């Protein structure tokens, strides 16, 4: 699969299979194509060439159906700022055709879990970035989607909310939901993901569990950060740090 913008290739030679029930992490430096890949999976973008299928549905021909079964949180959620939190979630619930009793029960539990009770009547435009992020996450999950796609969704979350989201994703995957997310937080990917793909310059460098990647690339280092840096050719950063120290010490 290939995706290009005005002749500039963003993704090339992508061949990836994500199994149901997996929590699949997409890791890569800024500009590596993570957001593009997640938008392709979510049927927001069309591939320039090749095919993307989700549950045997083609993202070009079956985009409407795919959007029904996916819950998507973009890197920068675009929410209706003139709505209150509850007005917005009520709107999302109606668009998603969530049964009213289920919506009330789920909405109440999510609001309580993410500590938004005091914000329920507040305009979204007045909320902090982290609080907006919580609203976007609830909106993506309120219809109990089969597939969950999260683009840096833990950015701005407080530790409690981040822990709740991580544990929730693990539980949802155990019940057969498929979760795909990008993150710069290596600890999250190492702890939560069953499989990981490393993107670099628009290509997948490798895919596997953390244990598999660690054996291949890190010689027992024991953490995903070292694996990631080695796979993207950035493992020896000491000269860079030393140069910065020297520049700061100049008179």
109 vs 166: CA distance, rounded Å: 16
Q: Give a yes or no: residue 215 inside a domain.
A: no
How many domains in the chain?
Answer: 1
| Residues of the domain holding 171 | 3-48+57-208
pLDDT at residue 220, rounded to an integer? 61
Distance between CA atoms of residues 180 and 5, nearest Å: 23
Any bridge partners for residue 149, and if so which? 72, 180
**Global model pTM greater than 0.75:** yes
Mean pLDDT over 14-38 rounds to 94
Indicate which CATH number applies to the domain containing 12. Answer: 3.40.50.300
Query: Is residue 226 included in any domain, yes or no?
Result: no
- Report the pLDDT averaged over residues 78-93: 96
Task: Give the pLDDT confidence of 117-158 residue by residue, as tens digits.
Answer: 999 999 999 999 999 999 999 999 999 999 999 999 999 999
Q: What is the pLDDT of residue 53?
A: 94
31-81 pLDDT, tens digit per residue, is: 999 999 999 999 999 999 999 999 999 999 999 999 999 999 999 888 999
Q: What is the mean pLDDT of residues 167-177?
A: 94
Residue 250 has pLDDT above 70, yes or no: no
């Amino acid at each position: 699969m290939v995706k290009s913008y005005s002749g500039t290739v963003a993704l090339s030679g992508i061949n990836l299979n994500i199994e149901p029930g997996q929590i699949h992490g997409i890791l890569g430096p800024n500009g590596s194509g993570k957001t593009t890949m997640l938008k392709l999976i979510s049927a927001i973008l069309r591939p320039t060439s090749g095919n993307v299928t989700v549950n045997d549905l083609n993202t070009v021909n079956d985009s409407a159906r795919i959007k029904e079964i996916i819950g998507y949180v973009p890197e920068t959620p675009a929410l209706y700022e003139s709505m209150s939190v509850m007005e917005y979630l009520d709107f999302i619930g109606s668009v998603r055709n969530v049964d009213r009793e289920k919506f009330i029960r789920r909405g109440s539990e999510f609001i309580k879990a993410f500590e938004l009770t005091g914000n329920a009547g507040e305009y979204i435009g007045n909320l902090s970035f982290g609080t907006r992020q919580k609203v976007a996450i609830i909106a993506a999950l309120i219809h109990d989607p089969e597939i969950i796609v999260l683009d840096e969704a833990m950015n701005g979350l407080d530790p409690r909310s981040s822990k709740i989201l991580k544990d929730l994703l693990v539980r949802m995957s155990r019940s057969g939901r498929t979760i795909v997310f990008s993150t710069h937080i290596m600890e999250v990917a190492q702890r939560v993901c069953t499989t990981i793909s490393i993107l670099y310059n628009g290509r997948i460098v490798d895919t596997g569990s953390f244990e598999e990647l660690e054996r291949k690339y890190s010689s027992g280092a024991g953490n995903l950060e070292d694996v990631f840096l080695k796979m993207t050719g950035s493992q020896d950063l000491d000269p860079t740090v030393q140069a910065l120290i020297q520049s700061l010490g100049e008179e």
